[in-house]
Amino acid sequence: MTPTDVHPASEPARWVYLDRIRTRPGPFTNPDVFSPEAVAAAMETMKILVIGAGGLGCEILKNLALSGFKDIHVIDMDTIDISNLNRQFLFRQADVSKYKAEVAARFVEKRVKGVHITPHNCKIQDFDDDFYMQFQLVVCGLDSIEARRWINATLVNMVDEDVEDSYKPLIDGGTEGFKGQARVILPTVTSCIECQLDMHAPRAAVPLCTLASIPRQPEHCVEWAHVIAWDQAKPFPQLDKDDPEHITWLYQRALERAAEFNIPGVTYSLTQGVVKNIIPAIAATNSVIAAACCNEALKIASSTAPSLGLPEENYMMYSGNDSIYTYTFKHEKKDDCPVCGQVARALDVDRAWTLRELVDSFAARPEAQLKKPSVRAEGRTLYMQSPPSLEAQTRLNLDRTLVELGLEEGEEIAVTDPAFATVTFKFKLKFKQ
C-alpha cells in the first residue's frame, strides 16, 4: 500500500491518520460494503445526534468531531453544576449554571475546525418523529434508564420496512465508577434496550416498616428523613435535591434519628448520595466508554471494520475494579419484548392479589420498571392513571382481586405508562400455584 491509496477528506493533511483507516481496506474490512472513495464525503454530510452533554456527552462530542463527523446535534436539558467539573471537561468554573448542550457545542466547534454542532437545551420528549428522522445515527450518553427506554421505543417505532432510511442505529453508553458498558442497537434487527432491561435491575427498596419502626443502617435514617420526616414537617414548599439547605435539613433529621437508635455512620455526603441516588463517576471511565461508542459510530459510518451489532456481538461490558475485564457478547433479541417483540410476555402473578398489588408490582419488576402503569384487559379498562375522571371511575377496581375482576390464566393484559407514551407493554397472566 502507498499513500496514493488514501482518498482524503477536504483537508487531507489534517485528517491523514483518520483517512488511512477509513479510506483504505484492512484485513477485516468487508469489501462488499466498503467504498473508500465515498467515505470522507459521506461522513461530512451525515447527521448524527448525541443525547446527553454530561460526562459521556462531552467525550462523545469531542470524539465524533475528531472522527470526521461534521454535522452534529446535541440534546441536554441540564445546566452545569460544580460537581460536574471533575470530569465534564468542556466546562469551567465560570460556566456553572449555563446550559450544558450550549457550552459543550460552542467549545468543541471552537477547538475542532470545520465541525458544526447544534445544541438543543431541552428534553428528548420535546421532539417528534420528524425531528429524529433527519439523523443517520444516534449516540446516547445518559444517566437515566427512562430516557434510554424512551428514545429506544421511539427509534424502534420509526422503523418502516420499506424505507431504508428509517433504520437509525442507536449506540448507547453507561458508566458507574470504574465500570461501564457500550452497546449497539439496530432497531428491530438486534436486541433493543427494552430487551436488555433486566440487566439494569432497579435497586431493591427498603421496606417502609423498616424505615418507620426498625431502622438499622445509616441509609435507613436518611430515607426516613426523606420519605417520612419531610412530608410531616414540610420545611420548604418543594424538596429541591440540589439545594444544600434542603439536604442539610434532611441530614439533621437523619442524625437525630440515628442518635435515637444508636446507629453510626450518617454523614452529609451519605445523605446527599442516598437522596439524589448519586452514582460515582470519573473522567477515566467516561473516556473509555464514550470512545468505545464513538469507535462503533465510526465503523458503522465508514464500514472500515466490522462493528458491534452486525450481526453477532452487540454489547461490551467493561470493568476496571479488579484488573481490566471486558466481556463482548451477543445479547439475544426477545420475542416477548414489549417494544420490538411480537408476543406477550409471561407475567407471574398471585391469583389472590388485588389489582393494586399487581399495579404496584410493575415498578419493581426488573423487566418492566413502570412507575405509573395503567392496565387494560381484553375489552375492558381495569385501571387508568389519567385523566382524573377515568382514574376516579377505575380506582375502585384497585382493591378487588384479580379473580374478582374476572381475569383468567393466560389472559393478555395491556399496560401503558406516561413515560413511554408510544409503547404498549403486553403481558400474559400466569397464576402462581
Partner 1 sequence: MTEIVMSQTPPILHGPSEKERKYDRQLRLWAASGQAALESANLLLVNSGAGTVGAETLKNLVLPGIGRFAIYDEARVQEADMGVNFFLDDSCLGQSRSQSLTELITELNPDVQGAWYPNEGVQTLDSLLADSPVFTAILYTHPIRPDQLSQLEAYGQQHKTPLVAIHSAGLYSYFQINLPGAFPIVDTHPDETATTDLRLLNPWPELVAFAEGLTKDIDGLDNFEHGHLPYVVILLHYLEQWKAANDGNYPTTYKEKTDFRKVVQAAARTDIPEGGEENFDEAAAAVLKTLAPPSLPSGLKEVFEYEHSDPVEQRSGFWLIADAVKQFYEKHQCLPLPGKLPDMKAQSKVYIQLQGIYKAKARKDAAEILQIVQAAPGGERVDPAEVDLFCKNAAFVKLINATGGGGGANSSGSNKISRADRLKSAAALEFANDETAALTLAPLSLMPIYLALQATSHAVDEPLAADAILAAVAEQVPGAEQYERVVQAAREVERAAGGELHNVSALTGGMVAQELIKIVTKQYIPIDNTCVYDGIAARCQVLRL
Q: Which residues are annotated as catalytic? A: 209
Binding to partner 1 (CB under 8 A) within 179-238 occurs at 182, 210, 214-217
**Contacting partner 1 (CB under 8 A), which of 1, 162, 238, 387?**
1
Binding to partner 1 (CB under 8 A) within 293-352 occurs at 294-296, 298-299, 305-306, 308, 313, 316, 318, 320-328
Sequence-distant (≥ 6) Cβ neighbours of residue 258 within 8 angstroms: 215, 218, 221, 264, 265, 266
CB of 422 to partner 1, least distance (A): 30
CB of 214 to partner 1, least distance (A): 5
C-alpha 389 chain-centroid distance? 33
CB of 303 to partner 1, least distance (A): 12
Q: Are 135 and 165 in contact (CB under 8 A)?
A: no
Alpha carbons 291 and 145: distance in angstroms, whole number = 20
Nearer to partner 1, 260 or 335 (CB): 260
CB of 100 to partner 1, least distance (A): 15
CB of 87 to partner 1, least distance (A): 6
DSSP summary character for residue 354: B
Applying CB under 8 A, the site for partner 1 has a residue count of: 92
**Contacting partner 1 (CB under 8 A), which of 41, 198, 200, 244?**
244
HSE toward the beta carbon, residue 411, CA cutoff 13 A: 18
Q: Phi and psi at residue 20, in whole multiples of 5°?
A: -55, -35
Which residue, 356, 353, 334, 354, is CA-closest to 345? Answer: 334
φ/ψ bin of 203: left (φ > 0), alpha (ψ from -120 to 50), beta (otherwise): beta
Nearer to partner 1, 24 or 400 (CB): 24
Alpha carbons 67 and 294: distance in angstroms, whole number = 8
**Contacting partner 1 (CB under 8 A), which of 77, 112, 189, 405?**
112
The answer to the question of residue 16 lying near partner 1 (CB under 8 A) is: yes
Binding to partner 1 (CB under 8 A) within 81-100 occurs at 82-83, 85-87, 89, 92-93
The answer to the question of residue 172 lying near partner 1 (CB under 8 A) is: no
| Helix (H) or strand (E) segment spanning residue 288 | helix 283-302
The answer to the question of residue 431 lying near partner 1 (CB under 8 A) is: no
The answer to the question of residue 286 lying near partner 1 (CB under 8 A) is: yes
Q: Are 312 and 330 in contact (CB under 8 A)?
A: yes
**Contacting partner 1 (CB under 8 A), which of 136, 154, 190, 272?**
272
Q: Which amino acid is at 233?
A: A
Alpha carbons 408 and 164: distance in angstroms, whole number = 42
CB of 2 to partner 1, least distance (A): 10
The answer to the question of residue 283 lying near partner 1 (CB under 8 A) is: yes
Stretch that binds partner 1, among 33-41, 116-124, 192-200, 264-272 (CB under 8 A): 264-272
Q: Residue 123 is placed in which grid cell?
A: 428534553
Report CA-CA distances (Å) from 17 to 3, 8, 9, 66: 11, 10, 11, 11
Binding to partner 1 (CB under 8 A) within 370-429 occurs at none
